[in-house]
């Protein structure tokens, strides 16, 4: 499927602030690669009634490494109506090993299975006879059952492995792609979005990159750069009246050396980022956030020395990092919506979910004097 490339938030003229990396994406953090497998079948499968619009997103830190590299991490559950695997060990051990995968609610198991098999094959030389290793990749989900036949469980092991085999550095696709293919955001078509920020410490720049799978909110909540857009682009269509039934997964990556407790605090700031777009964190929403650092690369624990070294930023200097994370999450959600394409509306569908119209959004922003302002951005 060929997807039209639409202007992102900054190119459209929305007044987001802060300096971005060259791609304004999570891949601005060195060593991170992102891959997608998108599944779109507009005609229902035999014996089924609904089309399939779903997929898998893969994020791999230290993607260039020939051996798996644990990363320090922290998680936060803002509203827990959802799933992210491996979080108990992230809470206790402060690390995870391998890819972060995002898919739909009913595909967590097959994606987890496929990811382990992929890791065993990719890192085969690492797992020598006698190594009693267990693998626990991170797999998260949001619900795409409004636009896709989620109960057909269309995601296969091959699909999850395809996302991992499609990993690449550089610009990241947004909107209707990967795990975000069938997602809805504030009553508009949503999906995958990404953004980044550069923060200077001393004589060095560090990067905070965010990727979201946005499937949350309802129309009247939508706020863009402080403007109550959803109250002005509301009509009597079914999609405009949809109540909160979704979730959002936020992944925040950085090359700044942070300890697990600091990354947990960083993950918590994603709640402020999504809150800027209007959501209060609805009861039916799984708002689950992961933050990790590619700094302090370590050997796998069973091969590491007795004493480990850990560099970390003084907590007193973290406020600019928190600000950068909040801003990048806010912008990533809007980027997801701006990139999305209309979906549904066939004779087989229950709903048609339209993407937000750029001209309508611009008109509302201009009405509030919040369009085309000078930005300090890349």
| Catalytic site residue from 28, 144, 287, 354 | 287
Which two three-digit tokens encode residue 87?
Answer: 């979080």
Q: Distance of CA 38 to CAs 155, 173, 210, 249, Å?
A: 10, 11, 20, 18
Q: Which two tokens stand for residue 261?
A: 């407790």
Active site residue 293: no
Is residue 247 annotated as part of the catalytic site, yes or no? yes
Residue holding tokens 């990533």? 332
Query: What are the backbone angles phi and psi of residue 236, rounded to the nearest 5°?
Result: -100, 10
Q: Which residues contact 365 (CB under 8 A, 6 or more apart)?
A: 13, 14, 224, 225, 227, 229, 371
Radius of gyration (C-alpha) of the chain in whole angstroms? 20
Cβ atoms of 157 and 62 within 8 Å: the answer is no
Exactly one of 144, 149, 159, 247 is catalytic; name it: 247
Find the catalytic residue in 285, 293, 328, 343.
285
Long-range contacts of 366-370 (CB under 8 A, 24+ apart): 367/232, 368/226, 368/227, 370/14, 370/15, 370/225, 370/226, 370/227
126-162: string of b/e by CB count within 10 Å (b at 16+)?
eeeeeeeeebbbbbbbbbbbbbbbbebebbbeebbbb
d(CA 78, CA 91): 15
User: Catalytic site residue 285?
Assistant: yes
What are the catalytic residues?
Answer: 247, 285, 287
């Amino acid at each position: 499927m060929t997807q039209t490339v639409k202007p992102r938030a900054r190119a459209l003229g929305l007044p987001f602030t802060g300096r971005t990396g060259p791609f304004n994406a999570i891949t601005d953090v060195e060593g991170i690669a992102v891959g997608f497998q998108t599944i779109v079948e507009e005609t229902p499968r035999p014996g089924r009634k609904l089309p399939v619009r779903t997929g898998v997103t893969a994020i791999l830190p230290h993607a260039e490494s020939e051996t798996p590299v644990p990363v320090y991490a922290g998680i936060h559950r803002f509203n827990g109506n959802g799933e992210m695997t491996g979080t108990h060990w992230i809470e206790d051990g402060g690390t995870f090993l391998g890819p972060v995968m995002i898919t739909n609610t009913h595909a967590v198991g097959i994606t987890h299975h496929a990811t382990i098999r992929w890791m065993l094959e990719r890192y085969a030389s690492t797992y020598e006879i006698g190594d009693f290793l267990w693998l626990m990749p991170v797999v998260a989900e949001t619900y795409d059952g409004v636009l896709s036949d989620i109960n057909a469980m269309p995601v296969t092991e091959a699909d999850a492995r395809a996302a991992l085999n499609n990993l690449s550095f550089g610009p990241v696709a947004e909107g209707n792609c990967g795990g975000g293919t069938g997602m809805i955001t504030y009553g508009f078509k949503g999906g995958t979005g990404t953004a980044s920020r550069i923060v200077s410490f001393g004589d060095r720049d560090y990067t905070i990159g965010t990727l979201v799978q946005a499937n949350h909110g309802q129309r009247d909540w939508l706020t863009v750069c402080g403007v109550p857009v959803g109250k002005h682009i509301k009509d009597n269509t079914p999609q405009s009246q949809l109540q909160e039934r979704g979730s959002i997964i936020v992944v925040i990556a950085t090359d700044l050396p942070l300890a697990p407790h600091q990354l947990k605090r960083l993950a918590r700031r994603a709640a402020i980022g999504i809150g800027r777009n209007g959501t209060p964190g609805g009861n039916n929403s799984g708002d689950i956030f992961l933050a990790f650092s590619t700094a302090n690369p370590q050997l796998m624990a069973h091969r590491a020395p007795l004493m480990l070294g850990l560099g970390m930023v003084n907590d007193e200097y973290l406020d600019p990092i928190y600000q950068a994370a909040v801003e990048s999450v806010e912008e990533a959600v809007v980027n997801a919506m701006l990139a999305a394409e209309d979906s549904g509306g066939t004779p087989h569908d229950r709903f048609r979910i339209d993407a937000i119209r750029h001209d309508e959004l611009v008109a509302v922003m201009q009405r509030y004097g919040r369009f085309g302002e000078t930005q300090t951005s890349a």
